[in-house]
Amino acid sequence: MTTTVGAPESAHHADLDLGPAQSLSCRECGHRTPLAAEFACTECFGPLEVAYDFGSVRREDIEAGPKSIWRYRRLLPVPSDVDVYPNTEPGFTRLIRADRLAAALGVRRLWVKDDTGNPTHSFKDRVVAVALAAARQLGFTVLACPSTGNLANAVAAAAARAGWQSVVLIPSSLERAKVLTTAVYDGALIAVDGTYDDVNRLATELAAEHEDWAFVNVNVRPYYAEGSKTLGYEVAEQLGWRLPEQIVVPVASGSQLTKVDKAFRELGDLGLVEPTPYRVFGAQATGCSPVSAAYKANQDVVTPVRPNTIARSLAIGAPADGPYVLDSVRRTGGAVEDVTDEEVVEGIRLLARTEGVFAETAGGVTVATAKKLIEAGKIDPDAETVLLITGDGLKTLDAVQDEIGPKATVPPSTAAVREALGH
Amino acid sequence: MTTTVGAPESAHHADLDLGPAQSLSCRECGHRTPLAAEFACTECFGPLEVAYDFGSVRREDIEAGPKSIWRYRRLLPVPSDVDVYPNTEPGFTRLIRADRLAAALGVRRLWVKDDTGNPTHSFKDRVVAVALAAARQLGFTVLACPSTGNLANAVAAAAARAGWQSVVLIPSSLERAKVLTTAVYDGALIAVDGTYDDVNRLATELAAEHEDWAFVNVNVRPYYAEGSKTLGYEVAEQLGWRLPEQIVVPVASGSQLTKVDKAFRELGDLGLVEPTPYRVFGAQATGCSPVSAAYKANQDVVTPVRPNTIARSLAIGAPADGPYVLDSVRRTGGAVEDVTDEEVVEGIRLLARTEGVFAETAGGVTVATAKKLIEAGKIDPDAETVLLITGDGLKTLDAVQDEIGPKATVPPSTAAVREALGH
């Protein structure tokens, strides 16, 4: 028996086409249930995950595909004609060799996966695109989310492009810039008088009441989360179809880290890469570091915290996938570490001045955590490392505004410029 | 005899490798001069342009290249190993089929070239990358520019990534957000007490005094400008190696429009596409529309104006390539049109709500101008049209901030949300 939350009738049609996806599987008890708009196991209330039958997938098929996440459509819960429908075409962002950052950090071979090149400049475009494609198959007609930033942008833009209605719920205290970058897409942007927790609770209630609303991170979460696998697929393909030895991933809910790990294992299982060993590292801000705390205390449970950090896109105090992050990290021989807000800002600046990539605070967390792990000898400086930069500094200007500015203000004369430069 | 401004000694080395580039050619009198850091003809003071010997270039060679502008390196003034040097790897941005915008505008087949996906989110990354590659060959060691926005971001980021020094001159009155998005790359950002004209003049003086400074839009301008050709190449390749029938390009200095036109002609000449007819349209903001005014008055000369428009990235009152824009437009059977600031904002909003693309004010100019040209019957609604969206709305939030916002602010209850949505 399964209980369906916010799932329209058509979700149960026999012609449901979600590509290689076969069922939903409980990550706790393994119980299987048919593909539908569900997110919790009816046996044990554990989280549901998409289970697949991939069949045979070849590199050539992927390489011949579009230059977006849809080149991996045979590995995602989406129909094979997914790219026929208007969508934001996210993914296939740059993987850049970061020699100058490597030198600064004292490692030999370093890469930066720069996901700021996505349509709304964060990795959320990936997960939202997969959620929308699955939601269409499941019979939904409205795309919705509670959010304080990147997710709101991605949902509103994806819905606009697809011609869907969107409902985006934000706390009414949200900064004006983040409101504007969502409101411009002209969906139903609703400001809620309350905390982000209030907004989240409201989203779950609305999902239960509106059977045609797909809340990307609530009732279609199992599909949505799979979108993060594409970060792992791309890194491997862009490295020439091989796995990196080490990868550093920021941890908010923890979903992204576990999906990158999943992607690497799938590629090995499918014979698309040699299944070489890799180590996964998690990065948190000290002001919201429940997973790092659990890792350091050698615990399996993650104790919720009240977030207090400038890295707001990572500020999830009760991370749903925290225990699975611990599993991935421990299984692969990685670690979880956290850094102060001052280190976050220095991480943003270090990446910008060495590689010309301006990351949001979450990127600063990743760079600063990598630095700390290298200094502690936990990241091997002689092994190849990839850093995931998942969002754009243009959206978190407040984090750096007190730290940087012009070198000098001068009158319009060449002598004044020379003097300012110390020539 | 040629006079060299700001060109280091090594510029004259015999081993200068600028790929297919053969010489500089005056666009007015046709006088040829060797490749060097020059921008004005010594015979007639006309603007210099790169002249090539392409030899044979095949589609397969391009398609096998990197997913950046460097796939077209055999068509640019850069060495064949250009992608070996660390660079921002711009280009190969999305070309999206825009059916919802097409329906709103009443045309049959419309595409949006979305250049917001570039590393610093504008087309300037293209031209700066080409300028840097040429400057390296010409013996420069510092990358510089005067700018009020996108160019400053692109130069500072490109220099950081390449490990070059940068000198970016901005008016001291520039908005804090634009200062931050340049300062973060940690080059020499100098605020100048004066107008943008003062800053520009200062740049020309500094270029004459510092032989190792490449001012991208001054002493290496002929190379820099060629970078815009890649927009034309990409559109043609992404359409399946064919030319669109109509293209709308924003006009600031006018360089971009003339280079897109040049790219289309080159592709036809090289047999990479069938040389089918196309029409080029220029888009300006009414508050800075000297080229549109000249076009409408049927004049060949462009009378400078004092800019007053929210489309600041197009606010060049004395456009250097204005006469060549008129040539391109008239030769191809296109037109130049201008739109009010109110229409610019509506253009931004129309593109965002129909296609999920948030453009800066220049993009609003392009969309609104296309709308006006369609309504006037100058753009054929039955012919295929491409719109160039060259920059990102995140950088010009002030343009829309009084127009958009949440639909409603409600208490955290589902009933309140339903009421706000009129359910």
ipTM of this predicted complex? 0.95
Q: A108 and A238: one domain?
A: yes
Q: What is the DSSP letter of B392?
A: B
Is the pLDDT confidence value at B209 over 90?
A: yes
Q: What is the pLDDT of residue B1?
A: 33
Best of A92, A195, A407 to mutate (most B CBs within 10 Å, chain B): A407
Q: A287 and A360: one domain?
A: yes
- Write out pLDDT tens, residues B250-306: 999 999 999 999 999 999 999 999 999 999 999 999 999 999 999 999 999 999 999
Of the candidate ranges A41-45, A344-348, B291-295, the one whose mean pLDDT is the lowest: A41-45
Q: What is the pLDDT of residue B178?
A: 86
Domain annotation covers residue B325: yes
Mean pLDDT for all residues in chain A:
94
- Across the strands, what pairs with A336? A282
SS3 B285: strand
Query: Is residue A23 classed exposed, middle or buried when 0-12, 13-18 and 19+ CB atoms within 10 A define those classes?
Result: middle
Domain annotation covers residue B6: no
Q: A215 and A229: one domain?
A: no
Which of B 111-150 lie inside 8 A of A, CB atoms? 114, 116-121
Report the residue of chain B nearest A392, measured CA to CA: B120
**Residue A161: its chain B contacts at CB < 8 A?**
96, 100, 355-357
What is the greatest pairwise CA distance in chain B? 80
Q: What is the per-residue DSSP string for B18-39?
A: -TTEEEEEETTT--EE-SSS--
Q: What is the pLDDT of residue A390?
A: 97
Q: A214 and A351: one domain?
A: no
Write the CA distances from B196 to A416, B192, B210, integer angstroms. Answer: 17, 9, 21
Best of B358, B389, B401 to mutate (most A CBs within 10 Å, chain A): B358
- Residues written for chain A: 423
Domain annotation covers residue A73: no
- Calculate Rg over the CA atoms of chain A: 21
**Over B132-183, what HEC string results?**
HHHHHHCCCCEEEEECCCHHHHHHHHHHHHHCCEEEEEEECCCCHHHHHHHH
Q: A182 and A323: one domain?
A: no
Q: A238 and A355: one domain?
A: yes
- Of the pLDDT bands very low, low, confident and very high (cuts 50, 70, 90), residue A173 is confident
Is the pLDDT confidence value at A180 over 70?
A: yes
Q: A236 and A173: one domain?
A: no
Domain annotation covers residue B149: no
Residue from the list A96, A179, A401 with its beta carbon closest to the beta carbon of B180: A401
Judge: A67–B92 Cβ closer than 8 Å, yes or no: yes
Q: What is the pLDDT of residue A7?
A: 47
Q: What is the C-alpha to C-alpha distance for residues B290 and B251, in angstroms, rounded to an integer?
A: 10
- Of the pLDDT bands very low, low, confident and very high (cuts 50, 70, 90), residue A353 is very high
Q: Left, alpha or beta for B92 (phi > 0: left; psi -120 to 50: alpha)? A: left
Domain annotation covers residue A143: yes
Q: A242 and A384: one domain?
A: yes
What does the pLDDT average to over A353-379?
98
- Write out pLDDT tens, residues B403-422: 999 999 999 999 999 999 99
B272 Cα to chain A: minimum distance (Å): 21
Is the pLDDT confidence value at A12 over 80?
A: no
B210 Cα to chain A: minimum distance (Å): 10
Mean pLDDT for all residues in chain B:
94
Tokens 């000694």 -> residue: B9
Judge: B119–A356 Cβ closer than 8 Å, yes or no: yes
Which of A195, A219, A243 is at the close of a domain? A219
> Rounded to 10 degrees, what is the CA torsion of A238, A242, A245, A249?
40
Q: What is the pLDDT of residue B14?
A: 55
Query: Which residue type occupies B326?
Result: L
Of A206, A228, A266, residue with least CA distance to A91: A228
Domain annotation covers residue B44: no
Paired sense of beta strands B110-114 and B94-97, if any:
antiparallel
Whether residue A353 lies within 8 A of chain B, CB to CB, comes out as: yes
Q: What is the CATH number of the domain that holds B367?
A: 3.40.50.1100
Judge: A202–B413 Cβ closer than 8 Å, yes or no: yes
Whether residue B166 lies within 8 A of chain A, CB to CB, comes out as: no
**Residue B180: its chain A contacts at CB < 8 A?**
397, 400-401, 404-405
**Residue A122: its chain B contacts at CB < 8 A?**
none
Number of structural domains (chain A) is 2
Tokens 């004092």 -> residue: B306
Which of A184, A202, A219 is at the close of a domain? A219
A–B CB contacts, 8 A cutoff, strictly below: 238
Whether residue B211 lies within 8 A of chain A, CB to CB, comes out as: no
Residue from the list A100, A349, A417 with its beta carbon closest to the beta carbon of B190: A417
Q: What is the pLDDT of residue B419?
A: 95
Of the candidate ranges A186-200, B46-60, B342-356, the one whose mean pLDDT is the lowest: A186-200
- Of the pLDDT bands very low, low, confident and very high (cuts 50, 70, 90), residue A14 is low
Residue from the list B120, B160, B354 with its beta carbon closest to the beta carbon of A353: B160
Q: A341 and A269: one domain?
A: yes
Q: A239 and A339: one domain?
A: yes
Whether residue B406 lies within 8 A of chain A, CB to CB, comes out as: yes
Judge: B100–A161 Cβ closer than 8 Å, yes or no: yes
Domain annotation covers residue B389: yes
Whether residue A389 lies within 8 A of chain B, CB to CB, comes out as: no
Judge: A202–B414 Cβ closer than 8 Å, yes or no: yes
Write the CA distances from B322 to A145, B333, B384, integer angstroms. Answer: 47, 17, 26
Is the pLDDT confidence value at B88 over 80?
A: yes
**Residue A96: its chain B contacts at CB < 8 A?**
86, 89, 161
What spatial distance separates the first Cα and last Cα of chain B, rounded to whole Å? Answer: 77
What does the pLDDT average to over B388-396?
95
Which of A203, A219, A235 is at the close of a domain? A219
SS3 B242: coil
Backbone phi, then psi, for B18, in 5-degree steps?
Answer: -115, 40
Domain annotation covers residue B64: no
What does the pLDDT average to over B350-358?
98
- Of the pLDDT bands very low, low, confident and very high (cuts 50, 70, 90), residue A148 is confident
**Which residues make Cβ contacts (< 8 Å) with residue A263, sequence separation at least 6?**
A75, A228, A229, A230, A231, A232, A233, A236
Q: What domain range includes position B337?
A: 94-121+226-399
Q: A236 and A355: one domain?
A: yes
Q: What is the pLDDT of residue A96?
A: 97
Tokens 């900064």 -> residue: A175
**Angle of the B229-238 helix axis to the B255-269 helix axis, nearest 10:** 50
Q: A320 and A385: one domain?
A: yes
